[in-house]
Amino acid sequence: MTKKQCSKPRSCSAFVPRFVQPSSEMNLFHKMLTVLTSTLCQAQQRITFQHCGGSVIQSLIVTPCTSDPCVIPVGTQINITFEVESNQDSNRVLFDPRVTVLGVQLPIPGVKKDACRSGAVFCPVHKGKLFAGTISAYVYNFVPSLTVTTTWKMLGAQGIIACGATNVTVVRK
């Protein structure tokens, strides 16, 4: 079977299966994917933080966040992605997130404390090995507009694995 020679590219479309041919839907999909990816990349920020015990946190990225310190509207879910080198062998990792308001440290509500059970971290963690995870938190509508210090501790079987503190500004939409 011989293939017909095509003089114009459009006239050869009969030889190309439909799923290979570019379509307006595919172009629209690529444009939407590009916009979505750009938006997500712009809505995350590597955060500077103060070390407050344990191993040094290698990286801390907050989404959505476009500044350092982060400005977070009430009614927003945030995701904090981290990478830490463990200072201990541990079958468990617990989060102890706190916010300091008027000099008083209060627990941050709604954060799943058991990082292993919630799937935020793959356990066990091993001394000298990097591990990564993501914590989700929700900024409830009852939170007033203010700038606070948040402290995120990770605890293992032998005490603090890592701790970082950073400022966050909560705003009304």
- How many domains, the chain? 2
Domain identity same for 117 and 135: yes
Domain identity same for 154 and 86: yes
Domain identity same for 71 and 24: no
Q: Is residue 84 in some structural domain? A: yes
Q: How far is CA 69 from the centre of its chain?
A: 16
Report field, pTM of the whole predicted structure over 0.95: no
Q: Is residue 155 in some structural domain? A: yes
**In angstroms, rounded to a whole number, what is the distance separating the alpha carbons of residues 24 and 6?**
23
Domain identity same for 29 and 61: no
By residue range, what is the domain housing residue 36? 10-40
Residue pLDDT tens, the chain, 173 long: 444 444 444 433 333 334 444 444 444 444 444 444 444 444 676 777 889 999 988 988 889 888 888 899 999 999 999 999 999 999 999 999 999 988 899 999 989 999 999 999 999 999 999 999 999 999 999 989 999 999 999 999 999 999 999 999 999 97
